Amino acid sequence: MVKKFISISSKLIVLVLSIAIVSIVITSTLSFTVAESIIKNDVESALRAEANNRGSTIGSIIDNRIELLQELARNPVLFDTFSALSFSVDEITFGKLLDERKLTLENEVMNFQRDQLNAGLRDFAIISSPGRVIYSLNNPEQIGTLAKSLDKVTQTTVKFIQDNNKERLMTITVPILSESSAQQGVITATMTSSVFDDILQSRFGLDETGEVYLVNKNEMMISESIFIDNAAFNQRVNTVPVKECFENGKSVDGLEYLDYRGVEIFGVSHCRSDLGFVLLTEVDESAILVPVYDLQSKIILVSGALIVAATIVTFFLSRKFSRPILKLKSAAELVAKGNFDVETKIETNDEIEELSKSFDSMTKTIKETVSAITKRENIIRRQEDLLSQFSKEKKESCVCLVDLVGSVKITQSLSEEQKRRYYEIFSDSVIEIVRKHKGVPVKFIDDAILFYFPVGSDNVFQQSIDCCLNLAESSSAINKKMESEGLPGIGYRISSTFGSIQIVGGGDKIVSDIFGESVNMCFKINPYALPNSLIIDSIMYEKAKTLDFSFTKLDESIVKELDYKVFIVHRK
């Protein structure tokens, strides 16, 4: 499958646009969220203030009327009337006693009504505990049935009702108590609740969709709606604030819910469950979020403009940045075709300029290397004659290898001069010992020295092993030389094998290289030797096992990847 080529310019444009878009999306989201939170907090504060002010005003009006009725219930004239009537047992006697006090009672009630409780009053009645009407503003017969139920009221109650003429009314019932706190009767006053309309329908502090209305314990709207005609006592409202008020006696703040129209709104409530109502102040959520939506639209518009501007700027910048890179690409293609004379010479005062310099330096180095290789080819051709000097005879020899342990890591911290001296001390010491035992040094391979002992006498095995053990025993002397020159100590592994080898060179005294299976084996077993110790293969062991040395066979678990036996050699 061929991969589709995507230019650096395209990648840069995509990268910048991705970063811009992600940043704009995050910023827009945060701005929208913060703005929405701030606006809702402000609206909540405004709605809470309106709900508290209007709810407290309505509550104060009702509380004031309750206090007036309670004051009347403690009136001495009313108290004496109930005291006298309490001894009456039949209707005739009750009627006579009531007639005797009727004028005084009516004057007292009329004075109270004129001075305190005249505004919006539709009915007023005083009822004794047996359910007899003592006084009624309207025809007593009209409330005869109602009196039987009202005399059972033991505490002040407030009810919101609607009469047959669809007029919204409020009935307050207050118990009349004797000195012993025994209930003697009740006072009930029915008045219009439209007095609250001016408070509820004021548009001050409200949005166009803002609405303030009352709901009673029966979850019925008891005031007019600005959205629905004739909603009072016809529209059911069972929203969260209503339930929270009449079930738990709590007001709610800044709540989002569906109102009686099924519209998502933002509202607060003022709960007066003791007075039988909860006041709801609500505004459509979509209306309060209009500024947020306007802000969001502006952010999207500005963001779009920024993205377009960023695209244009990025396009030209990417062309500027990619031009030197394309020049480097073209130069690399020429080098790949064998043209090493190419130069880029890019000047941008940044990393690309550094890359250009490195590229030009590389092509120069490659050119010099190719030239050197060409020269060496000629040398190699001339050395073909030397290779033809391979001994056609295979010569049996003891092959030996001395390999430094961890020299690469040890010399990393040394200077070039220290490294040169480090290897010089090692090689001079080893070669001196090898020649002392009549061995033939072959070559220095990295940090290892290869040498051998050709078979020429019966004691060649004695010589080679003596030489190797001498090398192992000389580690202390070599390390003292190192220490005297401030160099780190060394350790080395020694291995020896026996077999036929082919020699490159003019003889045993001038040797260029040696080849053979025994040479390969010598390199293979060397890593299994301990530092400053000698290891030999099984062939060497068979040749030298009768000599005066100690041989220890390595456990097969240690050399399990080898398919031959190896031995550690010590002096006895």
DSSP labels, 132-192: -EEEESS-GGGGHHHHHHHTT--S-EEEEEE-TT--EEEEEEEEEE-TTS-EEEEEEEEEE
- Domain end point (choices 349, 368, 388): 388
The pLDDT value given to residue 2? 57
Q: Which domain holds residue 457?
A: 390-571
The DSSP line for 231-260 is -TTT-B---HHHHHHHHH-----SEEEE-T
| 205 and 73 inside one domain | no
Specify the number of domains making up the chain.
4
My answer on whether 136 and 268 are in the same domain is no
Residues 423 and 342 in one domain: no
Q: What was the pLDDT predicted at 389?
A: 52
Which tokens hold the place of 151? 């005399």
Q: Are residues 51 and 162 in the same domain?
A: yes
Last residue of a domain, one of 373, 388, 403: 388
C-alpha span between 138 and 136 (Å, rounded): 5
Other Cβ atoms within 10 Å of 10 Cβ, number: 13
CA atoms of 518 and 501, how far apart (whole Å): 7
Longest dimension (CA), the chain: 167
pLDDT value for 379: 58
pLDDT at 550: 93
Residue holding tokens 């099984």? 538
Q: Does a structural domain hold residue 313?
A: no
Query: In this structure, are 158 and 80 located in the same domain?
Result: yes
Looking at the structure, tell me whether residues 205 and 175 fall in a common domain. Answer: no
Is 522 within a domain?
yes
Residues 141 and 275 grouped into a single domain: no
Would 231 be classed as within a structural domain? yes
Asked if the structure places residue 316 within a domain, the reply is: no
Exposure string of 226-265, with b = 16+ CB inside 10 Å and e = fewer, is eeeeebbbebebebebbebbbeeeebbeebeeebbeeeeb
Paired with 497 in beta bridges are: 399
* In a shared domain, residues 219 and 237: yes
Q: Give me the pLDDT at residue 237, please.
A: 94
pTM: 0.51
State whether 212 and 124 are in the same domain: no
Phi-psi region of 283 (alpha: psi -120 to 50; beta: other; left: phi over 0): beta
Q: Which CATH number belongs to the domain containing residue 102 in this structure?
A: 3.30.450
Where does a domain end: 152, 186, 220? 186
Classify residue 517: in a domain, yes or no: yes
Asked if residue 253 and residue 124 are part of one domain, the reply reads no
Regions of the chain short of the pLDDT cut 70: 1-7, 9, 83-95, 97-101, 113-120, 130, 139-152, 372, 375-393, 505-512, 557-562
CATH number at 253 reads 3.30.450.20
494-521 per-residue burial string, b: 16 or more CB within 10 A, e: under 16: bbbbbbebebbbeeeeebeebebebbeb
For residues 466 and 197, give the distance between their C-alpha atoms in angstroms, rounded to a whole number.
124
Q: Give a yes or no: residue 229 inside a domain.
A: yes
pLDDT at 376: 63
Residue 451 pLDDT: 94
pLDDT given for residue 3 in this prediction: 63
Please report whether residue 471 resides in a domain.
Answer: yes
d(CA 141, CA 149): 14
Q: What is the DSSP string of 478-545?
A: HHHHHHHTT-----EEEEEEEEEEEEEESSSSSEEEEESHHHHHHHHHGGGSPTTEEEEEHHHHHHHT
Same domain? For 412 and 551 the reply is yes
Instruction: Assess if residue 6 is contained within a domain.
Output: no
pLDDT at 120: 67
Model confidence over 295-344: pLDDT tens digits?
Answer: 778 878 887 888 888 778 877 777 777 777 777 788 888 888 878 778 88
Could you report how far apart the first and last alpha carbons of the chain are, in Å? 69
- CATH code, 499: 3.30.70.1230
* The pLDDT of residue 554: 85
pLDDT of residue 185: 81
**Same domain assignment for residues 436 and 535:** yes
